[in-house]
Amino acid sequence: MPLDPNAVPALLRALDSDDVFVRITAAEALGKIGNPVAIRRLLDTYDDPRPDVRRRVVMALRRIGVEPRAHATAKVVPGLARALRDPEPLVRYAAESALRRLDTSAARQALAAWREGPPDE
């Protein structure tokens, strides 16, 4: 059953829930809907303390980024590049996979920079 795009505002609010499963479900649903309006809020949610939520956010960004109607690839690459440095291996793997799938110049540059190692601080 397709998800109703009218649910986006409620799903965006659900990303603030105290319940981890509500946050996970909201991120997954936003990815399935594919509305680029969700990108900014998903990027904000990337700071979630739970790695399972962060991984779902990465997966949602990937789905939105590859959605041809969204034209949002350039908007999701910075968030996915940030996720490459997540402390959780599954989040990093999801980000790498998403960037490979997007296969844009920006995505390839993010992957190349990540392979070179952390920037000097």
No. of helices (H) and no. of strands (E), the chain: 7, 0
8-state DSSP, 1: -
Write phi, then psi, for 69 (nearest 5 degrees). -75, -20
pLDDT of residue 118: 63
pLDDT per position as a tens digit, 16-42: 999 999 999 999 999 999 888 999 999
Residue 3: C-alpha distances to residues 26, 39, 75 (Å): 12, 17, 22
From the options 3.40.50.2300, 2.60.40.420, 3.40.920.10, 1.25.10.10, give the CATH code of 5-116: 1.25.10.10
- CB-facing half-sphere around the CA of 41: CA atoms within 13 A: 18
> pLDDT exceeding 90 applies to what percent of the chain?
69
Q: Domain segments of the chain: what residues?
A: 5-116
